[in-house]
Chain A
Amino acid sequence: MNFGMPLLILMIAYFIGTHLEKRHFQSILKREDEARGFPVVSFDTMPDNWTASRSDLVSGSVVISLDYFKRVIAGLRGLIGGRIKTYEPLLDRARREAVLRMIEDARSQGYDAVFNVRLETSRLANATRNGKGTAGVEMLAYGTAVKFASRFANAQ
């Protein structure tokens, strides 16, 4: 058997995948810093002291996939079970990206806060291999965005 090619692909996948992940995390941190101060809560109802002038459903989603190297590790881990550590950064960054996109959606429409936030994960099955493989993971964040009637309403 020829192990050369798969090994080369594994190495390329590792280096590029790691680089992209690092860059994504940097971008997330920067944007989260900018979004600080924008209230995002999972309360079902709006906090009592908020008075809204208008509201709408906002959402943010992202479909993200793992690099080949980490997928191979995850596959090996699947044989013995336990925590699949290589999936955690993927899900973490996907979820934060989805929340950020939701916030950006709300902001671009002039809203001040989002409540009743819900987070969903779903797997996109591969079209090939009887749908056994994973094409990617979709993260969805949605909630109700509100515009405050008074700028200072929520400061009390």
Chain B
Amino acid sequence: MRFVARQPKEGINVSDTHPLVEAGTLVVGLTAIFVIIAVVLIFMVEVVLYFVSAEDEAKLFDGWLPEDLVTVSYTDERLLETQALVDRLVLHWPDAPYEFRVEIDDSEQANAMALPGGLVIVTQGLLDEVESENELAFVLGHELGHFKNRDHVRALGRGVVLSIFFAALTGNDVAGIGIKSADLTLRSFSRRQEARADDFGLQVVNSEYGHVNEAWHLFERWGGKDDSIIDLVKYLSTHPDSGDRAATMKRHAEEKGWQSDGEITPLSW
């Protein structure tokens, strides 16, 4: 038995795929897989929506509030008036399947949300921002439009389903996921959904006041503002650009022949 010095051939234990090729393949492949899964999940939400009617939803979410919502007191004057305004606006949507509830979120960021079961959430920031009842009425009418098109359940369903999917992916505890307002940031409406809600909002405002004056005033102001205002950036990023939006609404009102001037109702606060 004799020792003969020999070296094995180089590179047998190393694959010759270039790391960048491997990275490219993985990124493209995984993106494709995620997109497919997301599309399937969104489709499943649509199927559920088809089988769960708005009445069922209203029953199911009766009295429900997001777990970590910080609301203002029930005796707040602004809450009572906003609720009264919603109640008046709903009169122009005769077969509304919900009993609308208003809650005020204690947040500085101007925003309004439509949540399952006819829950309308407006933020303190929004109430500080609006200058007339007409402006506020339009924002509320816009949210009613989301309810009418059932965008709210769709968006929430997607948000919850996708967050469960990502939790499963990253190995987090799936069972620990409740509907929290953190999930609500996952909600985003498409521009088409926003435009349809805008149309409905305008229609409601027109029926209530007989004109649509000041309805898009809020968006005109926002559109003229510097985008660096951090509070608004987030809002604007999920919504169409405010300037464009005001112009679209103006055009829509003209087409419908709605009066664009009329008496402005001031806010009581």
Contact = CB atoms under 8 A, between A and B. Distances in A.
- The reply to whether A and B meet directly (CB within 8 Å) is yes
Contacts of B169: 79
B174 interface: no
Contacts of A39: 3, 5
Interface of B: 1-3, 5, 7, 10, 13-15, 17, 19-20, 22-23, 26-27, 29-30, 33, 169
B19 to A, nearest CB: 6
18 contacts: A14-B20, A36-B5, A36-B7, A39-B5, A47-B1, A72-B23, A73-B26, A76-B27, A77-B22, A79-B30, A79-B169, A80-B29, A80-B30, A83-B15, A85-B19, A88-B14, A89-B14, A92-B13
A76 B13 contact: no
A118 to B, nearest CB: 18
B19 A77 contact: no
Chain A CB within 10 A, most for which of B1, B3, B20, B29: B3
Contacts of A91: 13
Contacts, number: 55
Nearest to A113: B3
A4 to B, nearest CB: 17
A155 B2 contact: yes
Interface string A19-51: 000000000010010001111010000011100
Contacts of A36: 5, 7
> Nearest 10 A-B pairs (CB), nearest first?
A85-B15, A37-B5, A76-B26, A39-B3, A92-B13, A88-B14, A36-B5, A89-B14, A73-B23, A85-B17
B11 to A, nearest CB: 9
A70 interface: yes
A104 B15 CA distance: 28
A121 interface: no
Given A32-B7, A92-B14, A156-B2, A18 B19 contact: yes
Contacts of A65: none
